[in-house]
Amino acid sequence: MIRKLPFLLITVIVGMIISLAGMERQIVSPGNQDLSLPFSPGILSEDFLFVSGSSGNVPGTRQLAGKDIESQTRQALENIGQVLRAGGMDFSDVVSSNVYLADVRHFQTMNSIYSTYFRQNPPTRATVETDQVLAGALLEISMIALHPRISRHVVTPQGWSHPTSPYSWGIQAGDTLFIAGMVSRKPSSDESVLGDIGAQTRQVLQNVGTVLRRAGMDYGDVVSSRVFLSDARDFRAMNDVYRTFFTTEPPVRATVRARLASLDFKVEIQCVAVKDATRKVVGTPRLNSPFSPGIRVGKRLYLAGMVGRGPQGLELGDVKAQTRQTLLNLESVLKAGGLDLGNVVDATVFLSDVRYYNDMNEIYSQIMPEGFPARATVGTPLMSPSALVEIMMTAVEE
């Protein structure tokens, strides 16, 4: 008991500091999860707590809690729970989650453990298959939670059945709406809508629109999206349909290839929307681009997933050079929005090969200022076969 006391005191003290911090950006750490890697366990900003991707490792070590998906799912969620408590929150405050599975055949087993942490009103969620950066890891989970002082409610469109898995269609958190990863299904009947990528993308975005309208929003309020394609060859056809829903000032976006939980589906799209009259595009979009470089709403700046393409193109086969250029590209958009890398609160790194993890971290830690943002890092093929890294970020003005 005596040996446990210092950690408990640290957790309580950190939690007290965070609860008094208000809107200032604060690192949230339970004190036992330091792996000397360039990300913080959690970042609290604007009453949102961004929790880094957690694998099923024993806190403070790279040792996994077990080799099975049950043990690793439970440990990953326990790790997240420690960060939530250090931030004065718990699982009931989580509004959005991303689950990256090493093998989608573990989907149902993961769900059985996951559901025990969310007995009612679970957060929105996207679940896809990716490679894991920690050897032997079977999943990584990242989350966003909202301080209980802010109103939060589940958004379920009229006539829609509840999801069969433990997530909600939408969670409205103040002026922000988190929308679950949508696939080509009619939620009113749970009927799959199969067909080519165009038909499936249309159904997915119609589903997104139904959730938006239920929350009093529309497509023009979407600030960020993530598109997971099961086949990168569908990229252009997906974009053709996607553009018809976001005709002007489209949201920022990251698009990667990932196997989905069901082989029936070709695409899954996850969105965030904000009802704010200050919404504006930051940076200069490429001609006919289906996404904006940045979207500024209030104090928040959402940045698109960017790759390391510089004036001379991509440095082929050089992940360090591409990571450096990627961060310079992101920094350029941040500066256009009046912010810098020190304002970043959350990041997602997609690596085309997880063996690049250490080299990416080396450059990332050199360029990103101390007080690193929360971060998830997974392995996925990117849309450009020459791109080795893609990074998506969210920043907040202090």
This prediction has a pTM of 0.93
Dist. CA 89–CA 163, nearest whole Å: 25
At the top level of CATH, the class of 296-398 is: alpha beta
At 317, the amino acid letter reads G
Which carries the bigger pLDDT value, residue 358 or residue 15?
358
Task: Provide the pLDDT confidence category of residue 54 given band limits of 50, 70 and 90.
Answer: very high
At the top level of CATH, the class of 1-150 is: alpha beta
Residues 6+ apart with CB under 8 A from 374: 39, 40, 41, 42, 43, 50, 51, 52, 142, 345, 346, 347
CATH homologous superfamily for the domain 154-275 = RutC-like (3.30.1330.40)
Task: Provide the pLDDT confidence category of residue 18 given band limits of 50, 70 and 90.
Answer: very low
Q: State the DSSP string of 227-277.
A: EEES-GGGHHHHHHHHHHH--SSPPEEEEEE-EESSTT-SEEEEEEEE--T
Q: What is the pLDDT of residue 374?
A: 98
Q: What is the per-residue pLDDT across 226-280, written as a single tens digit (0 to 9) for each?
A: 999 999 999 999 999 999 999 999 999 999 999 999 999 999 999 999 999 999 9
Task: Provide the pLDDT confidence category of residue 138 given band limits of 50, 70 and 90.
Answer: very high
- Domain range list for the chain: 1-150, 154-275, 296-398
Dist. CA 200–CA 195, nearest whole Å: 6
Q: Does residue 21 carry a pLDDT above 90?
A: no
Dist. CA 188–CA 162, nearest whole Å: 9
Task: Provide the pLDDT confidence category of residue 9 given band limits of 50, 70 and 90.
Answer: very low
Dist. CA 352–CA 372, nearest whole Å: 22
Q: What is the per-residue pLDDT across 194-209, written as a single tens digit (0 to 9) for each?
A: 999 999 999 999 999 9
Q: Does this chain's domain 154-275 share its CATH topology with 296-398?
A: yes
Q: Does residue 12 carry a pLDDT above 90?
A: no
Provide Rg for the chain, Cα atoms: 20
